[in-house]
Structures are given as structure tokens and as C-alpha cells.
């Protein structure tokens, strides 16, 4: 048994009773008409997965859903704190709700998610946005029905954050956004404390869901016709360490891969410090596991990696990549990068450039460093100007664009199995994705949405492929 072993709790019966009570109140208020909720989700897939649980609870509370805030009885923003830009967008959009509340005083406006776990943010909302009636952080998700009910009946403002950070709750009703592409959280929180990152502070300590619960949710999704399932965690490689019977991530993914059906299995995010050969072998030998590894390296400079508290160096990262390329045919690699970490020099940045040239990633998620209140990096000396950082950032994008274009051009003439994701509004073409997560556009009927098809790649336009359905 590990020190921090904890048993999952079921969402309490009391919460289901609150859902019923809310349904009754709303039925009276709306005189039998269905109340509507508008939910906007910012940030990563973890937030998307949480919103799907909130929507599940709202559906059991009698709510339907709308894309028009003006039609809503309940508006919720699920927020992200990872960069300043993300927070600014939320503040701007919440400010814009003031007039809506004036026009519809009955409307309940709520904020939840990562931003709300920061005390200074909750205080700012409390003081500057009096029309926000309900605020709850990531650790209060299991109490949402009760908090919602209290906001509706008390008339006062309800603020709840920062409790139960070590617990894990099961038994949420889930209303998934998609019917063939879905998210499956396998763990919550993070213990890594990279010096730039707010996530461990707003999501709490790392904790894993029981393997049996994950397997049964995966089976349900596959039986319901899901074709593309992404296992979610901030660092999936350390899955299972908090369980009574520890399981490795490689063992978990191999068991899920053993479920019969026609589907792809993905996962994110892998941390390079413990991306094991066992996991790479599992991808190589898997039936459903996508030949895609998202392995954020953040910086190519050892000095900066140390300052970031990442616990690997360039050499170890490149060794992992070399092993993965050797074992997995047709591997697609993607990564996250931060430009302009405090103290980074142009020499350090050039190490990042040389690493992306060496690895040849399919695509990159690139970010300029954003100081986060309460993290160690916020207090580090940061002498490089914002203009200079933007210049480096553009240089990085140019280099990557060339690499992505070259990688896509190499695929022309090959046949790829793709999942058709929908129709592009502008052109009427079908949008599809390869197992390596590369976008393919092709002509075809919208009825193919949600199906796997074989496609001949005919053209590459920068990092997007064009293809034709194989007869
Ligand atoms: N757990 C994942 C990442 C979660 S956050 C991992 O470790 O890979 C997603 C990405 O946002 C990070 O990989 C990082 O590149 C970026 N990021 C996080 N904090 C940031 C900050 N303060 N400034 C800029 N980018 C940041
Ligand atoms: Fe943030 Fe690092 Fe945890 Fe990822 S591993 S969520 S970057 S602290
Ligand atoms: Fe943002 Fe929270 Fe995800 S801070 S990136 S929504 S874990």
C-alpha cells in the first residue's frame, strides 16, 4: 500500500436529491417549460471532461442546453488558469454578461474550474462582478448540485473552493459532447510542480482512478460507438501510483486495448521523465493504440529544463524519442514548448530550435512564458523583453512550419486510415484525422461522419493533407 493510498467515494445520494429538488424548483419557475443551460469551457480536455460531468448533473436537474446565452436560465463558464491570456479572456467575457443579467435578472451566472481555485481570482470576482451568483473550484465538482440548489433558493451568492483536494469521486452522470470522439479521465491533479505551472495548485495532488472503473467506462464508450477515445491525465506515465494495488500506465493501456471493437485509443499527457520503454512497447504492440506520442519537452536547453524542474535533460529526451522511433512504425510525434522562460537566452532558445529540427515533430503547441501568481518562476529574473520573445516565437513557428510541410509532403501517395470528423462549413469538404492526429480534407458524403475510411493522400498543403476516398 502506498502512503497516500485513498479510496474513491461515490457521488453521494444527497447530491442526486439536490438534482431532483432543482428540477422541481425550475419546473415551478418556468411553469413547466424546460429550463436551459449555456456552458462555455476554456482550457484543456480535463476541463472539457469536467464540463461533461456538469452537463450530466444539469440534465438530471431537468435542464436542456442552448448555444445562445440570451435564451439561458443558467450560464456557466468553466475556466482555465494556465496562462494570463486564458484568464483575461474569461474576465472579458464575464464582464460582458453584466448587461445580460440586467435584461434577465432571473438568470443564474456561475463560474467554475481552475481559475476559481486561486484565492485572488475568487476575491476579484466577488468584489468586481456582483452579478456572478455561484463560484466553485475544481475540488467542489462533486457538490455542484447542492451549490446550485443553494444559489437558487437562498438568493445570496455562493462561493466554494479549496476543499477535499485529495479525494476522488465516482458515479457522476456524464453527458458527452461527442458521439464518436470522447475523453476518459484516468487520473486527476499533478505532483510535478514545474516551476512555471499553476496546474498543481488549482487541481491538487495526483490521484488515479481505479483500473476497474476506467475499464468499465471504456467498455461503455466502445459499446456506445465511440471511435476515438483519449485517456486523460496531466502525467499519465505516473498512473496507478496512488492505488491500493499499483498498476502501471502501460499495464492499464494494454488492458483497455484488449477490449474488442473498432476504435482508436490515445492518451495525453506523457511526461518525458518517466515515459518508459514498457509504454513505448505497448504502443508498438497495440491493436487500437494510435501511433502517436505527445511528449512535451518545453525547452531544448538543459539549463532551462533544470530551472523548470522538469527532471530530464536533452540527452534523456532524445534517447526516449530514438527508442520510440525505432519501435513504432509511422510514429507521429507532437510536443509543447515554452519560449522565453525567465533567464532564457538566445543561446538556450537555439537549443530548442535544434531539438525540433532533429526530432521533426508533426506539430507543436507553442507558448510564450506567462508568469503565474504563486509559482516559483513568477519571482525569477526575466530580463528579456516581450518583443524579443515574440521574435524568437515567430522564428520557432517558421522552422516548425517547414518541418510540418516536409513531413506532410512525404505522406503524399500513401494510403491512410482516417476517422471522418465532420464537414467543413466553408468548403463543404469532409474533415478527417489520421491515427497520428494529422488533418486530412477530402470530398465525400456527410453521412460518413464518425466512420473510419481509407484515404489516398493526394496533396499536402503546409501541414494539412488532401485525400481521396479509396473505392
Ligand atoms: N501536464 C502537461 C501540461 C499541462 S499545461 C505536461 O506536463 O505536459 C499545457 C502546456 O501549457 C504545458 O505543456 C506548457 O507548455 C504550457 N504552459 C504551462 N504553464 C505555462 C506558463 N506559465 N506559461 C506558458 N506556457 C505554459
Ligand atoms: Fe504543469 Fe508540469 Fe504538472 Fe504538466 S507536469 S501539469 S506542466 S506541473
Ligand atoms: Fe487550464 Fe486547468 Fe487545464 S489550468 S490547462 S484547464 S488543468
Q: Structural domain tally of the chain?
A: 4
**Mean local confidence (pLDDT), 303-323:** 98
Shared domain check, 300 and 286: no
Is residue 187, in this structure, part of any structural domain at all? yes
Q: Is the pLDDT of residue 120 over 50?
A: yes
Measured in degrees and rounded to the nearest 5, phi and psi for residue 330 equal 70, 30
Instruction: Quote the pLDDT of residue 471.
Output: 78
**Mean local confidence (pLDDT), 192-208:** 95
Shared domain check, 361 and 425: no
- Does the C-beta of 125 come closer than 6 Å to ligand 3? no
Shared domain check, 441 and 310: no
DSSP 119: H
Shared domain check, 441 and 399: no
Instruction: Quote the pLDDT of residue 5.
Output: 58
Ligand 1 pocket residues where CB is under 6 Å: 82-83, 196-197, 199, 234-235, 269, 271, 296, 298, 336, 338, 367, 369-370, 372
Q: Is the pLDDT of residue 198 over 70?
A: yes
Instruction: Quote the pLDDT of residue 2.
Output: 40
Q: Omega of the bond prior to 269 within 30 degrees of 0, cis?
A: yes
CA 199 to centroid of ligand 2, rounded, Å: 6
CA–CA distance from 361 to each of 5, 228, 297, 355, 400 (Å)? 38, 22, 11, 10, 8
Instruction: Quote the pLDDT of residue 24.
Output: 97
Q: Whose CA is nearest to atom 1 of ligand 2?
A: 197
- Does the C-beta of 200 come closer than 6 Å to ligand 2? yes
Confidence of residue 154 (pLDDT cuts 50, 70, 90): confident
Is residue 171, in this structure, part of any structural domain at all? no
Note down the domain range covering 404. 296-410
Beta strands 439-442 and 464-469 are: parallel
Confidence of residue 166 (pLDDT cuts 50, 70, 90): confident
Shared domain check, 366 and 283: no
Question: What's the pLDDT tens digit per position in 328-353?
Answer: 999 999 999 999 999 999 999 999 99
| Residue 246 CB-density burial (10 A; 0-12 exposed, 13-18 middle, 19+ buried) | middle
Instruction: Quote the pLDDT of residue 461.
Output: 86
Q: Is the pLDDT of residue 4 over 60?
A: no
Confidence of residue 164 (pLDDT cuts 50, 70, 90): low
Averaging pLDDT over each range in 92-96, 241-245, 302-306, which range is the top one? Answer: 302-306
Shared domain check, 421 and 399: no
**Residue 415: Cβ within 10 Å count:** 13
CA 131 to centroid of ligand 1, rounded, Å: 32
Question: What's the pLDDT tens digit per position in 6-62?
Answer: 678 899 999 999 999 999 999 999 999 999 999 999 999 999 999 999 999 999 999
CA 42 to centroid of ligand 3, rounded, Å: 8
Distance CA(283)–CA(332), nearest Å, equals 12
**Mean local confidence (pLDDT), 350-367:** 97
- Does the C-beta of 80 come closer than 6 Å to ligand 3? yes
**Mean local confidence (pLDDT), 79-108:** 94
- Does the C-beta of 271 come closer than 6 Å to ligand 2? yes
Q: Is the pLDDT of residue 245 over 80?
A: yes
Shared domain check, 198 and 51: no
Domain boundary among 241, 272, 290: 290
Residue 441, domain CATH = 2.40.50.140
Angle at 218 between CA 217 and CA 220, to 5 degrees: 65
The chain-wide mean pLDDT, for the chain, equals 95
Question: What's the pLDDT tens digit per position in 218-230?
Answer: 999 999 999 999 9
CA 149 to centroid of ligand 1, rounded, Å: 35
Instruction: Quote the pLDDT of residue 8.
Output: 83
Residue 215, domain CATH = 3.30.750.210
Q: Is the pLDDT of residue 457 over 50?
A: yes
Which atom of ligand 3 is the closest one to the Cα of 47?
A: 6
Q: Is the pLDDT of residue 396 over 70?
A: yes
Q: Is the pLDDT of residue 65 over 60?
A: yes
Is residue 85, in this structure, part of any structural domain at all? yes
Amino acid at each position: 500500500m502506498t502512503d497516500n493510498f485513498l479510496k474513491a467515494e461515490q457521488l453521494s445520494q444527497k447530491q442526486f436529491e439536490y438534482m431532483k429538488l432543482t428540477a422541481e424548483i425550475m419546473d415551478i419557475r418556468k411553469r413547466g417549460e424546460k429550463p436551459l443551460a449555456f456552458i462555455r469551457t476554456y482550457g484543456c480536455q480535463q476541463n472539457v471532461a469536467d464540463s461533461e460531468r456538469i452537463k450530466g448533473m444539469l440534465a438530471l436537474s431537468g435542464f436542456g442546453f442552448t448555444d445562445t446565452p440570451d435564451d439561458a436560465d443558467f450560464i456557466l463558464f468553466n475556466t482555465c488558469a494556465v496562462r494570463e491570456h486564458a484568464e483575461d479572456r474569461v474576465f472579458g467575457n464575464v464582464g460582458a454578461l453584466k448587461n445580460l443579467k440586467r435584461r434577465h435578472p432571473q438568470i443564474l451566472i456561475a463560474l467554475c474550474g481552475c481559475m476559481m481555485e486561486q484565492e485572488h481570482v475568487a476575491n476579484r470576482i466577488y468584489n468586481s462582478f456582483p452579478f456572478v451568483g455561484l463560484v466553485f473550484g475544481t475540488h467542489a465538482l462533486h457538490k455542484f448540485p447542492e451549490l446550485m440548489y443553494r444559489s437558487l433558493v437562498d438568493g445570496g451568492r455562493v462561493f466554494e473552493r479549496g476543499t477535499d483536494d485529495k479525494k476522488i469521486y465516482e458515479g457522476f452522470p456524464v453527458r458527452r459532447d461527442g458521439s464518436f470522439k470522447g475523453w476518459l479521465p484516468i487520473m486527476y491533479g499533478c505532483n510535478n510542480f514545474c516551476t512555471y505551472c499553476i496546474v498543481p495548485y488549482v487541481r491538487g495532488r495526483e490521484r488515479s482512478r481505479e483500473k476497474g472503473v476506467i475499464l468499465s467506462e471504456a467498455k461503455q464508450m466502445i459499446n456506445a460507438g465511440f471511435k476515438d477515445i483519449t485517456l486523460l491525465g496531466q502525467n499519465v506515465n505516473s498512473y496507478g501510483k496512488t492505488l491500493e494495488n499499483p498498476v502501471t500506465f502501460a499495464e492499464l493501456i494494454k488492458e483497455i486495448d484488449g477490449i474488442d471493437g473498432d476504435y482508436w485509443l490515445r492518451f495525453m499527457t506523457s511526461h518525458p521523465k518517466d515515459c518508459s520503454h514498457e509504454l513505448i512497447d505497448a504502443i508498438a504492440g497495440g491493436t487500437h493504440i494510435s501511433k502517436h506520442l505527445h511528449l512535451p519537452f518545453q525547452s531544448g536547453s538543459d539549463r532551462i529544463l533544470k530551472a523548470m524542474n522538469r527532471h530530464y535533460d536533452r540527452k534523456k529526451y532524445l534517447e526516449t524519442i530514438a527508442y520510440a522511433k525505432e519501435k513504432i512504425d509511422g510514429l507521429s510525434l507532437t510536443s509543447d514548448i515554452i519560449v522565453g522562460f525567465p533567464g532564457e537566452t538566445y543561446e538556450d532558445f537555439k537549443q530548442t530550435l535544434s531539438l525540433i529540427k532533429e526530432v521533426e515533430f508533426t506539430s507543436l503547441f507553442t507558448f510564450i512564458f506567462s508568469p503565474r501568481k504563486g509559482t516559483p518562476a513568477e519571482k525569477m529574473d526575466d530580463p528579456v523583453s516581450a518583443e524579443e520573445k515574440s521574435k524568437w516565437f515567430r522564428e520557432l513557428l517558421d522552422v516548425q512550419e517547414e518541418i510540418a510541410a516536409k513531413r506532410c509532403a512525404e505522406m503524399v501517395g500513401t494510403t491512410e486510415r482516417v476517422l471522418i470528423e465532420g464537414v467543413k462549413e466553408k468548403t463543404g469538404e469532409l474533415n478527417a484525422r489520421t491515427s497520428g492526429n494529422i488533418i486530412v480534407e477530402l470530398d465525400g458524403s456527410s453521412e460518413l461522419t464518425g466512420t473510419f475510411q481509407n484515404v489516398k493522400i493526394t496533396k499536402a498543403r503546409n501541414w494539412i493533407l488532401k485525400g481521396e476516398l479509396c473505392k
